[in-house]
Amino acid sequence: MSAMNPPLFLLPYVLLTLLPAGAQQQVMPSSEQGSGSMTVDSGAKSSMGDQVVASASFTPAPLATPTPVEKTPLSLPGSTPFVFRKIGETELLLHVTKPAGWKASEKLPCLISFFGGGWVNGTPSHSIEWARWAAEHGIVGVAPDYRTRSRFNSQPEDSVSDARAAVRWVQEHASELGVDPSRIICSGGSAGGHVAAWTAIPAKGPGVDDPGAPSPLPVALILFNPVTDTKDSGYGGTKRFGGSSHRALACSVPDQMPAKMPPTIIFHAKADKTVPFKNSTDFRDKLVATGNRCELVSFEGLGHSYYSTKYGAEGAAAKVTTKQEMERFLVILGLLQATSSSTNSTPVPSVSPSSPTNK
């Protein structure tokens, strides 16, 4: 059977198929361009950081683009990495910073700082600055990793388990790290504050692979806009826990913590639309009501991650205040040596009255 000649009205389309793809795009009749639109990219940055050349060309209707997965850092400047937990083929690292003149025999206090990111994003590259701050102030600093959904397809309960495992590992290796296992301070921002607070809860954790609470428990907590309440009245709620109110309740710090908790200082901006400021006032009130020491330092006109560069000079000033108040708090607890900045600084007006220190 011989090939049929195409009808004349189809001839332009047949010829079009012989052109290169780019040329097809230029001569495609508008009736064939579907729902796409004409866009002009004025030198925007691509996801890889490369400069995109400005162009005017047809683009099809966009598809959902997955959020790029963050790289897990294998090392961070100024620190030494150690594997602290292995789950299947996954190795979790923590990054240790040491002060100048460090000696293993000194048994120094240790600040362990956890990154935030809603249990979804984040890596120790976001919390290593606080470990470095610790080393600058004469104590050991640690920035652990923990499982997040974007990198490990994990759940919040897994993040809690890993944080508790990190503190236990530091305690088990205290002699080689030059750390006093009874003088560990746990710190974290946002979801990092949540997992940090869970290191101070002696009850069984919510994760299926919970390693158990550290022993002894941390001696202090430093929390930045922390997730505490994980029920519908707080951050996450049942939606974040697969529709399970039981799971949300089981992860909620105020609902699972004992009457006695370590001395705690909380930093939170009043205009936070991610983690309600009220969660921190309620958390503070509950701690104080049972005889715990808790201070709440608040900031006006700032939102979540209040000391981020996105808030400009106000955020930078808030970060300075945060560091001053951290230092003052730890000096009072005998965990840092007093310096001129800690002895001369006066508490900002937003610091609430504190209850007596835990015995």
For the segment 293-339, what is each residue's pLDDT rounded down to a tens digit?
999 999 999 999 999 999 999 999 999 999 999 999 999 999 999 88
The bridge status of strand 90-97 relative to strand 140-144 is antiparallel
More confident residue, 58 or 210: 210
More confident residue, 48 or 294: 294
| DSSP tally for the chain: helices H, then strands E | 13, 10
Give mean pLDDT, residues 66-81: 89
Give mean pLDDT, residues 283-289: 98
More confident residue, 116 or 6: 116
The predicted structure's pLDDT at residue 9: 40
Query: Rounded mean pLDDT of the chain?
Result: 83
Query: Is this prediction's pTM over 0.85?
Result: no
Question: Which residues pair with residue 141 across a beta bridge?
Answer: 97, 111
Q: Are 277 and 331 in contact (CB under 8 A)?
A: no
Q: Are 175 and 103 in contact (CB under 8 A)?
A: no
In sequence order, the 6+-apart residues with CB closer than 8 A to the CB of 264 are 220, 221, 222, 223, 287, 292, 293, 294, 295
The predicted structure's pLDDT at residue 16: 40
pLDDT > 60? residue 46:
no
| Distance in angstroms (rounded) separating the CA atoms of residues 305 and 14 | 58
Q: Are 294 and 287 in contact (CB under 8 A)?
A: yes
Enter the DSSP assignment of 51.
B
| Distance in angstroms (rounded) separating the CA atoms of residues 113 and 187 | 5
pLDDT > 90? residue 19:
no
pLDDT bucket at 69, cuts 50 / 70 / 90: confident
| Distance in angstroms (rounded) separating the CA atoms of residues 250 and 275 | 18
Assigned CATH for 81-344:
3.40.50.1820
With 0-12 CB in 10 A as exposed, 13-18 as middle and 19+ as buried, what is 53?
exposed
User: Comparing 107-111, 303-307, 322-326, 354-358, which segment has the lowest mean pLDDT?
Assistant: 354-358
In sequence order, the 6+-apart residues with CB closer than 8 A to the CB of 140 are 96, 97, 98, 99, 102, 108, 109, 110, 111, 134, 177, 178, 179
**Domain limits of the chain?**
81-344
More confident residue, 350 or 111: 111
The phi and psi torsions of 169 (rounded to 5 degrees) equal -65, -45
Helix (H/G/I), strand (E/B), else coil: 273: coil
pLDDT bucket at 35, cuts 50 / 70 / 90: very low
The bridge status of strand 108-114 relative to strand 90-97 is unpaired
The predicted structure's pLDDT at residue 345: 52
pLDDT > 80? residue 12:
no
The predicted structure's pLDDT at residue 56: 36
The predicted structure's pLDDT at residue 322: 98
pLDDT bucket at 340, cuts 50 / 70 / 90: low
| Distance in angstroms (rounded) separating the CA atoms of residues 325 and 314 | 16
pLDDT bucket at 344, cuts 50 / 70 / 90: low
Q: Are 207 and 213 in contact (CB under 8 A)?
A: no
